Chain A
Amino acid sequence: MRRSFILSRLTDLVVVLFGVSVITFLMIRLVPGDAVAIMLGANAEVTPERMDELRARIGLDQPIVVQYLHWIGGVLTGDLGQSLWTRRPVIDEIAVHIWPTIQLAGLSLVIGAALAVPLGVLMARLRGRGWEIGLQIGSVAGLTVPSFWLGIMMILALTTLAPGVQMLGYVPFSQDPLGNLARLILPAIALALPILANLARLVRSAMLDALQQDYIRTARAKGVSERAILYKHALRNALIPFVTSVGIMTGYLLSGAIVVEQVFAIPGLGRLLLGAIAERNYPLLQATILLVTVVFVAVNFVVDLVYAWIDPRVKT
């Protein structure tokens, strides 16, 4: 039973990846704009013949099907290709940019998820009281305030309060652990806030839902303490949708990171992706999107497994 469940999920995964590879490949080529023209800029003194030469040099003169097969063939054998102009292997570019994003996304997820559970439980407990309305308003604000605005406001506030502290840019953890955290904490909070708001609301409604169930009434009738009912019986069940949401949040984190990295000048995957789009750096763009897709799909795969483990009813 469990084996066939895993297998079917794995087949889905392969189909999704193939689809994404085709779509990204075509989409970026359908966008108007010529990689060679962009590279040379508006004022370069270059003839059309010379541009054709350059195009041939980077393989963009081939028919699109040939280009795709060439690329996907490379990907399957572990060669992601080279960045169009720097000729550096794409894998190296990604390796440099992936750590800041992993750190940022991880930190945000931890902040968001860790605070969401107590906050959600609190909101459920305070239901209908004045305090809860305040928290509700706060959570709506958390969901709707754009992270770029929040980011700039945070920078503005903190640079005014503590002018000497370097809080923009990025230093690797291995070089300067304290500096690394000092620079990441603000962007992580900016990125985490919508997650926190979202998850807290989810925990709240799942808790309220769980508290309506028959088994809670039974527990109460048995004389179980209110505290044990809340944390042992209700919360455990309320966490099932929470786990699924955390999986979906990964997608949000990756897209949110693009904006937050831009504002805080963090050299992560989002910056790499935006740069690749702007210069029509096809190999770099394709590989980055494929990687992001793999991460997203893999996380959801793991979530599916965890979900099946928490809730045995899923394994059918």
Chain B
Amino acid sequence: MKRLISTAALVAAMSVGAGAAGAQVLELAVSDSPAGLDPHIVTAFASFQVVNGTVYEALTEVGPDLRIRPSLAESWEVSDDGTTYTFTLREGVTFHDGSAMTAEDVVASIERVKSEAIGSPLASRVAAVAGASAVDERTVEMTLSEPSAPFLTQLASIAIVPSAFQADAESLQQQPVGTGPFAFEEWQPNNFILLGANEDYWRDGMPKLDGVRFNIVPESATRQVGIASGQYQMLPNIDAATALQLQGRPGVVLQDTLELSYTLIGMNTSQPPFDDPLVRQAVNYALDREAIVQAALFGSGVPAGPLSPALEAWARDVSEFPCYQHSPERARELLAEAGVETPVKLTMLVLPRQDIRDIAQVAQAQLEAAGFEVELNIPELGTFVQDWRNSNFEIFASANAGSVDPDDFFYRAFRTGGSTNVFKYSDPRVDELLETGRTERDEAARKAAYDELQGILACEGPVAHVAYGQLYTATREGLSGFEIIANRSLSTLAETSTAQ
């Protein structure tokens, strides 16, 4: 008994210590350690969620409603031909190092992303910018080589950094300097990244927290126990499987939204059998997407068309696509029409991620009921990426990131020779529609082009879109102001506060 009491005393002493150190610092648990924090160099999700909208901001930003709104640029004007953008910058914005943010920094940031020496994977997003110049302290003019409808969306992913770092590819990796609500404080590798409140933040009254700590916790079970017991106050951007385990736990609240990213089955159109559009259609008929959502995503998701239903202004309803009617008979007819020998023998390359594995297994059974014979190949990630990139597959199951503009969904994946067109897909009409969608500034005409495009891609494209999953964030009770965003940005942490 005596020992029990002294243990309790020790425990009490320790909790007091922890409480004093962690006042108003939000404890988050994330699974992966970032490879670096330079927003122009490391674009992987593990880095993105730590710095996007927290440490770094861009000229524009994506709001929780997925619409583009002004951020560091207060306003902008577009010339009649759509090739000149004039941005007026917000007044009184300073970087975390104390220097004022000026037009010079914006120009330097764009140049930095474009520069060969930095080698940014974001370069293609600003490829259209032929020139950027500082007109005065608060005015930036950018000229585009051709009109670009998704330009303002793409600018939301270009963080503005101080001009001093224009040619420096190393410093920001360890020590990010931005304009956001939180300033970088400390990074203990594989342990945590700590951000502190930016006292001079330009949005009044924000941030409300004193800081945010991203604890790096690789084990999913540990993260779950951690939030259930209050060691962590937030698990951002978790999947349905984890969320369902946390559902109903006392003290844990779940927020959810429909994902922009989607799961898919991709086909190599440069070789038989998928060089024939009829066979690709047959795959679409063979899939029962509802059943996949139920079996592999625990029912939390919706069947996917080419665009996420979260993009209400753009996405067509899947009921409009004839091939989304599950029909193994129709699939067999199409295979007969295509003149291929059945069963069509295939090896499916599968991304080694639990939900994708599950989807691949359900799809395997469904395809086999419709005249295919599928073997699954689930390599480790490095091998998958290599095979995927080299188009070394007949058919694969994977996931694709989405964006808030249709151009980002389609252009690089489906245009002839596009940078992620691993399907080797080529269709002149699709190329034409992609160009229209990219350059057309009239919203209605742009919408018409994307409507037609979705129709073509849904049934005959190189991708059978499978599902948009539900994305969750788990928080402790009493946290207010946080809002989940489908693009996985944690920018609303600026408005988050804990009730204490």
Q: Name A's B-contacting residues (CB within 8 A).
A: 31-34, 37-47, 50, 53-54, 85-88, 93, 96-97, 148, 152, 155-156, 159-160, 162-170, 176, 178-179, 182, 262-265, 267-268, 271-272, 274-275, 278-280
Q: From DSSP, what is the main secondary structure of chain B's interface residues?
A: mixed
Question: Is the C-beta of B121 less than 8 angstroms from some C-beta in chain A?
Answer: yes
Given known pairs A44-B121, A262-B219, the reply for A163 and B229 (CB within 8 Å) is yes
Q: Pick the residue among B190, B192, B379 that contacts A271 (CB under 8 A).
A: B190
Please tell me if the beta carbons of B385 and A41 are within 8 angstroms of each other in the complex: yes
* Residue numbers in B under 8 Å from A33 (CB-CB): 380-383, 385-386
For B22, the chain A residues whose CB sits under 8 A away are: 166
Measured CB to CB, the closest approach of chain A to B347, in angstroms, equals 16
Q: Using CB atoms, name the residue of chain A closest to B411.
A: A45
Residue pair B381, A46 in contact (C-beta under 8 Å) = no
B189 touches A267 (CB 8 A): yes
> Closest approach, in angstroms, between the C-beta of B385 and any C-beta of chain A?
4
B381: which of A38, A148, A156, A268 is its contact (CB, 8 Å)? Answer: A38
Instruction: Report chain A residues within 8 Å CB of B381.
Output: 33, 38, 278
Q: In the complex, are the beta carbons of A275 and B231 less than 8 A apart?
A: no
**Chain B contacts for A32, CB-based, 8 A:** 379-380, 382-383, 386
A159 touches B225 (CB 8 A): yes
Task: Check B385 against A34 for contact (C-beta < 8 Å).
Answer: yes
Q: Is the CB of A179 within 8 A of B14?
A: yes
Q: Which residues of B contact A272 (CB under 8 A)?
A: 189-190
Digitize B374-397: 1 where CB-to-A-CB distance is under 8 Å, 0 elsewhere.
Answer: 000001111111101100000000
A33-B385, A265-B29, A265-B222 given. 15 additional CB < 8 A pairs?
A: A34-B382, A38-B382, A42-B385, A42-B398, A88-B174, A152-B221, A156-B225, A159-B230, A164-B11, A166-B15, A166-B22, A166-B231, A265-B216, A271-B218, A278-B381
Neighbour of A166 across the interface among B18, B188, B190, CB < 8 A: B18
User: Chain B residues with Cβ under 8 A from A86's Cβ?
Assistant: 35-36, 173-174
14 A-B residue contacts at CB 8 Å? Answer: A39-B35, A41-B43, A43-B401, A45-B412, A45-B420, A46-B419, A148-B219, A159-B231, A166-B22, A166-B231, A167-B231, A178-B14, A262-B218, A267-B189
B222→A53 contact, CB < 8 A: no
Q: Given that A34-B385, A41-B43, A155-B225 are contacting pairs, would A97 and B13 also be in contact in the complex, using a CB cutoff of 8 Å?
A: no
In contact, B124 and A263 (Cβ under 8 angstroms): no
Q: Which A residues are in CB contact (< 8 Å) with B11? A: 162, 164-165
Which residues of A lie under 8 Å from residue B386 when comparing CB positions? 32-34, 37
User: In the complex, what residue of chain A is closest to B251 when comparing beta carbons?
Assistant: A163
Residue B217 is within 8 A (CB to CB) of chain A in the complex: yes
Hey, which chain B residues are within 8 Å of A279, CB to CB?
35
Would you give the shortest CB distance from A94 to chain B, in whole angstroms? 11
- Give the interface centre of A31, A34, A45, A271 by most chain B CB atoms within 10 Å: A45
CB distance from B160 to the nearest CB of A (A): 21
Give the Cβ gap from A56 to chain B, nearest Cβ, in Å.
Answer: 12
Question: For residue A100, which residue of chain B has the nearest CB?
Answer: B191
Bound complex: CA A165 to CA B389 (Å): 47
Q: Is the CB of B221 within 8 A of A93?
A: no
Interface residues of B in 318-356 (CB under 8 A from A): 351
Q: Flag if B412 contacts A85 (CB, 8 Å).
A: no
Q: In the assembled complex, how far is the CB of residue A51 from the closest CB belonging to chain B, in whole angstroms?
A: 8
Inter-chain contact A263/B18, CB cutoff 8 Å: no
Q: Would B217 and A168 count as touching, CB distance under 8 A? A: yes
In whole angstroms, what is the CA distance A148 to B219 when docked?
10
A314 → chain B closest CB, angstroms: 41
Contacting residues, chain A, for B131 (C-beta < 8 A): none
Chain B, residue nearest A88 (CB): B174
Asked if residues A275 and B383 are in contact (CB atoms below 8 Å), the reply is no
Distance A64 CA – B354 CA, assembled complex (angstroms): 35
Q: A41-B44, A280-B382 are in contact. Are A169 and B191 (CB under 8 A)?
A: yes
Interface check B436, CB cutoff 8 A: no
Give the chain B neighbours of A264 by CB distance below 8 A: 222
Indicate whether A179 sits within 8 Å of B18 (C-beta atoms), given known contacts A43-B400, A159-B225, A163-B230.
yes
| Docked complex Cα distance between A264 and B216 (Å) | 10
Chain A residues closer than 8 Å to B219, beta-carbon distance: 148, 152, 262-263, 265
* Neighbouring A residues of B170 by C-beta, 8 Å: 87
Q: Evaluate whether A47 and B398 lie within 8 angstroms (CB atoms) in the complex, with A38-B382, A85-B36 already known.
A: no
